[in-house]
Amino acid sequence: MKFRVSQELPEHLGYKSAVWVITALLAVNQFMIGSMVPKAHGSGGLKSLKSLFGAQGASAREILDTKLNSDGKTTTIAKWPTISEVPAEPKGMDLVEAAKVVMIPTGTPLYAPQGISFDDPVSALAAWQPYEQQITLSPELQKRWENIVSQMTCDYCCGGPTRVTIITNCGCRHAQAYRSIAKYLVRNYGDKYSDDEIIGELKRWKGAWYPKGVIEDYLLATGRVDVLGHQTHGGAGAEGMHGF
């Protein structure tokens, strides 16, 4: 069963109705995460894949997430530098719960405007959206912004396993928020953070808005796909496993 929290809302819905619908969709997604339990290891489950990356052993400013392949249609999983710190996996914890700690951000990032927090992803989604239209960049910064958004993909919203959608071609509200965050960071922190760090930070927000998908990708990349399984999504490839 596939749950997506990024479906476009009908135009006739008012702002309050839109927020209510987004809240409900996110609640369903969070419920699915809360109900996840590790699958029994053995012949009845998926075979464990060789780990390409180690589990997050220490807190660091880096995250495992999707990267657009050279074909422009599929993605693999790579390490991205981030702005906010990514926690280590807690020892002795259920593997799914430990993955949540790593991949689902909490708190308020240092750069966020007042009132925007990882802890309230629904309100943050609405609050970020206007910045794309409100901010005007210099030609130099505009080029940087275009480079950043051309590499960010909408993995769990549009397209298919062999045809991922880049956020510049996606009309969903999450894609608009990603573009807005990138524009805000380029203008206000472009002298402090690299393009890759800004992309990595967009992927932190992906964890707030798509927790189920990022946890599955993280467990896949760290060789523990048999714990939870992996739902194919945009860019995951014909086999639905990012080439693993």
Chain-centroid distance of CA 5 in Å reads 12
For 67, the token pair is 């990267």
CA–CA dist 220, 227 (Å, integer): 9
The pTM assigned to this predicted structure is 0.82
Question: What residue ranges in the chain does DSSP mark as E strands?
Answer: 60-68, 75-86
CA–CA dist 154, 230 (Å, integer): 17
88, burial (CB in 10 Å: exposed 0-12, middle 13-18, buried 19+): middle
Q: What is the pLDDT of residues 18-47, one digit of tens each?
A: 445 444 445 445 444 444 444 433 323 344
Query: What integer pLDDT is reported at residue 157 of this predicted model?
Result: 86
CA–CA dist 58, 41 (Å, integer): 26
Cβ-contact 198, 148 below 8 angstroms:
yes
SS3 17: helix
Query: What integer pLDDT is reported at residue 90 of this predicted model?
Result: 96
Positions in the chain short of pLDDT 50: 1-19, 21-25, 27-28, 30-49
- To the nearest whole percent, how much of the chain has pLDDT over 90? 77
SS3 7: coil
Query: What integer pLDDT is reported at residue 115 of this predicted model?
Result: 96
Query: What integer pLDDT is reported at residue 46 of this predicted model?
Result: 43
